[in-house]
A and B are shown apart, each in its own frame.
Chain A
Amino acid sequence: MKVLVCVKQVLDPSGITVNRKAEKVFINREEFILDPASKAALETANDLKQTGAEVVAISVGPERVEDGLREALARGADRAIWVRSDGGDALVIAHLIAAVVRKLGEVDLIIAGHQSLDTGAGELPPRLAEALDWPQILGAAQIDVGANGVTAIVQQAGFVQVEASTPVVVAMLAGAYRGSYANGWRLMDAYKKWNVEAWSTADLDLGEDDLRPLTTKKEDAFPPERQLGTPVRDVKELVVMLKRERVIAQNVKRET
């Protein structure tokens, strides 16, 4: 069984300061870390190795993602593929990964992170499922692979168990990460012995249309500065403030 793990790097949030007054994001220390959801995906794939699975890690991006892939190797991946690309939206990345999957062949399971730390969009797994015409399981907390396919525990209102036959795309929750470490020897080998395969977009039989991003970032915007100690008179006013700040979760139990 071949398992593909999609790995994403994000800027370490402890290295950035958001200054609402200056309307700027200051990057004090530009360090990229593996996204917690990607770590959960790697951890899950590593567990599947005991059943004889081959784990291939993949990442799309500029030079820096090579580091993330070496960490993926240290965390148990058998092979790492870096698709060189200078940006692109989820549409392009889904096309690229799907092309790699077709080229590799015999991939039975794709595990990705459900929502990343930075944007939390959760767009890639369903887009990837669409590009390959596979089913999708989003928001998985745990998966098991059996003879019949994949069973997963999915977070909805509570936790629900679902079942699908392979091939399937599974998106793991960041909260499913148990906090395992990379093996020290593997970490040494990842930098000294093993290689990250560099693939270019030209190797992947894709058209110009498939590589053109359609959703782009225009600029950053900032919430108003915090006004500590703002007095509130009644609950009605408080509700208005909470809504304006968008700090109430979507899952508020509402009477309809």
Chain B
Amino acid sequence: MTVVDHSAYIDAAAATLGLKITAEQRKGVAMYFGLAAAMAEKLEGLPLHAADESGNVFVPVVPEGEG
């Protein structure tokens, strides 16, 4: 697992999103962000292609009484 210090990113992202991370929350947030980062790292390295693009599909909304 790659060891990265995410603290600068956490501060910048929190400020960008308007989130306040208190001193009490900081250790937990860093721990959980690191856990997500470790999971994200596992997602690298597969030979993915355009056909593997996400299956999330937008469904148009038909007005009531139609369709």
A binds B: no
Mark B residues whose CB is within 8 Å of A: none
Mark A residues whose CB is within 8 Å of B: none
